[in-house]
Amino acid sequence: MNADIRTFPTHDGRMEINLSIPTAKGTLILNALQSMLALTGLKARRIDADGDEIVSAGDVLSDVTPAMALRGLRVKEDITQKELAERLGISQNMVSEMESGKRSITSKMAKRIAETFNAPYKAFL
């Protein structure tokens, strides 16, 4: 299989490069390109068809702790700590400690919480 490369000069003094590659090699090639760009002092930005930057939730919410995620979802769902505790089969005090970061959230508990909120469990780890 081949890779297809097209280049276009842009009006702002840049060069646009379009690269079509086999899907199986996509991640490998993307990582290599990002590494090469970093060596030149450039950072790769992902953009959509409209030219807007694509930003992941992890980029935006990188400072969010599991405790913050738990409290945020509970408040968003408009339930009390006591109600959440009942749904999880634990004490209200345990919910309070998890929300304040005084008690870590185990992977088993993260999965129970995720099921309660229909959310990815990794948000609570």
Q: Are residues 119 and 75 located together in one domain of the fold?
A: yes
pLDDT score for 12 = 93
Looking up residue 107, the CATH number of its domain turns out to be: 1.10.260.40
Domain that holds residue 64: 60-124
Contact between residue 117 and residue 69 where contact means Cβ atoms under 8 Å apart: no
pLDDT score for 110 = 95
Mean pLDDT of the chain: 90
pLDDT digit string, tens, across residues 69-93? 999 999 999 999 999 999 999 999 9
Q: Are residues 72 and 119 located together in one domain of the fold?
A: yes
- pLDDT-wise least confident of 60-69, 76-85, 100-109: 60-69
Q: Are residues 24 and 64 located together in one domain of the fold?
A: no
Q: Are residues 116 and 66 located together in one domain of the fold?
A: yes
Number of domains making up the chain: 2
Task: pLDDT band for 116, please (50, 70, 90 cuts).
Answer: very high
Is the per-residue pLDDT at 114 higher than 90?
yes
